[in-house]
Amino acid sequence: MDHRALTRLSKRMSLALRHQPGRFGLTLDRAGWVAVDELLAALRIGRADLDAVVAGNDKQRFAVERRPDGVERIRANQGHSVPVDLGLAPTPPPERLYHGTAAAALDSIRATGLQRGGRHHVHLSVDVETARRVGARRGGAVVVLTVDAAGMARDGHVFHRSANGVWLTEAVPAAYLS
Ligand code: HQG
């Protein structure tokens, strides 16, 4: 598969594993897992293509693991809009985290802080470069906000770190943004 085909398949897998499993006739378990064979059948793809997406993915969006009974399962590491409990332990964040967004959203963010919208969490990046890339998905001018994560943690806000290194929290009040 060339790069574009991989990206296309990655997006379909994200749709199935994060947002609309029902549309593919799939049911995720509570933690977001589905059997690899079920996903292959639902998407009508071969194992080699799935492996190529999982291994080659720029952001390590998917995790594959073998259950004790030998069945292999797959889930998205983060980004769900369907209710799942990823079972991530609360983790103390680094001093600062970053959030890239559209300049056009700034006024609204200043007023209400960062909201999780349709997803389970607000997504934060460990470095400015990654945050800039996330913000650039929106097109137009990008701003990167710095989050006083240590201050939030001190004040009782809980953070989780997804398997692919994205930091997650429920909301970021405007007072912690600069
Ligand atoms: C914005 C991708 C107005 C927020 C990325 C963002 C990430 C507000 C958008 C992951 C707001 C939500 C998540 C407020 C937040 N007023 N706008 N009060 N609060 N926003 O896509 O963080 O490629 O749900 O800034 O790389 O952009 O899918 O979140 O622009 O890791 O794996 O509302 O998705 O990962 O957009 O991206 P999203 P996001 P994948």
DSSP 58-84: TT--EEEEE-TTS-EEEEESS---S--
Please indicate, yes or no, if residue 11 is contained in any of the structural domains.
Answer: yes
Distances (CA, A) of 70 to 38, 61, 147, 164: 15, 23, 42, 24
Residue 61: pLDDT over 80: yes
CATH code of the domain in which 33 resides: 1.10.10.970
pLDDT one-digit tens code per residue, 91-143: 999 999 999 999 999 999 999 999 999 898 999 999 999 999 999 998 899 99
One domain for residues 127 and 55: no
Residue predicted with more confidence, 146 or 138: 146
State the residue range of the domain holding 49: 3-76
One domain for residues 109 and 43: no
pTM of the predicted protein model: 0.88
One domain for residues 59 and 101: no
Domain boundary residue, one of 20, 45, 76: 76
Report the residue among 119, 146, 147, 176 best suited for mutation to probe ligand 1: largest number of ligand atoms under 8 A from its CB. 119
Residue 4, strand partner residues: none
One domain for residues 127 and 169: yes
pLDDT one-digit tens code per residue, 34-47: 999 999 999 999 99
Domain boundary residue, one of 76, 108, 130: 76
Atom of ligand 1 lying closest to residue 115 CA: 19
The answer to whether the CB of 108 is under 6 A from ligand 1 is yes
User: How many domains is the chain partitioned into structurally?
Assistant: 2
Comparing C-alpha atoms, which of 36, 33, 6 is closest to residue 17?
33
One domain for residues 44 and 113: no
One domain for residues 13 and 72: yes
Report the residue among 14, 101, 126, 132 best suited for mutation to probe ligand 1: largest number of ligand atoms under 8 A from its CB. 101
